Structure 1
Amino acid sequence: MPQMAPMMWLNLFMFFIMVFMMFNVMNYFSMIYKNKSLNFFLKKTLIIWKW
């Protein structure tokens, strides 16, 4: 039935928008950041220049 086609397109549009938003939210909140202050002290190296 062609009369029902706009309703189906609207449902598909809303479905894909919701999936897109859920994908973005899950990617944003699943990031785990490492604390850089702890690694700063561990990477300290002593360089002695001999001319």
Structure 2
Amino acid sequence: MPQMAPMNWTMLFITFCMIFLLFNSLNYFMFSYPVNTQSNIKTNKFTMNWKW
């Protein structure tokens, strides 16, 4: 039916947008960085002992 074509295109566009947003959000939130258990921060303790 030609009268229903705009409604079908609108539903197709909404469905595509919802699937696209769902895929992007799942791809964004399911990504996890590898956990680094070792601390690579080295602290240097440098004491200045003034010899007066």
Q: Same fold (TM over 0.5)?
A: yes
Write out per-residue CA displacement over residues 17-49 of structure 1, whole angstroms, 9 at most, x where no aligned residue. 0000000000000111123572748xxxxxxxx
State percent identity of aligned pairs: 46
Structure 2: which 5+ residue stretches go unaligned? Answer: 42-52
The CA distance in 1 between the partners of 2:27 and 2:40, in whole Å, is 27
Unaligned residue ranges in structure 1 (runs of 5+): 42-51
2:9 equivalent in structure 1: 9
The 3-state SS of whatever aligns with 1:38 is coil
Over the aligned positions, Cα root-mean-square deviation in angstroms equals 2.1
- The CA distance in 1 between the partners of 2:34 and 2:40, in whole Å, is 12
- Runs of 4+ residues over 4 Å off in structure 1: none
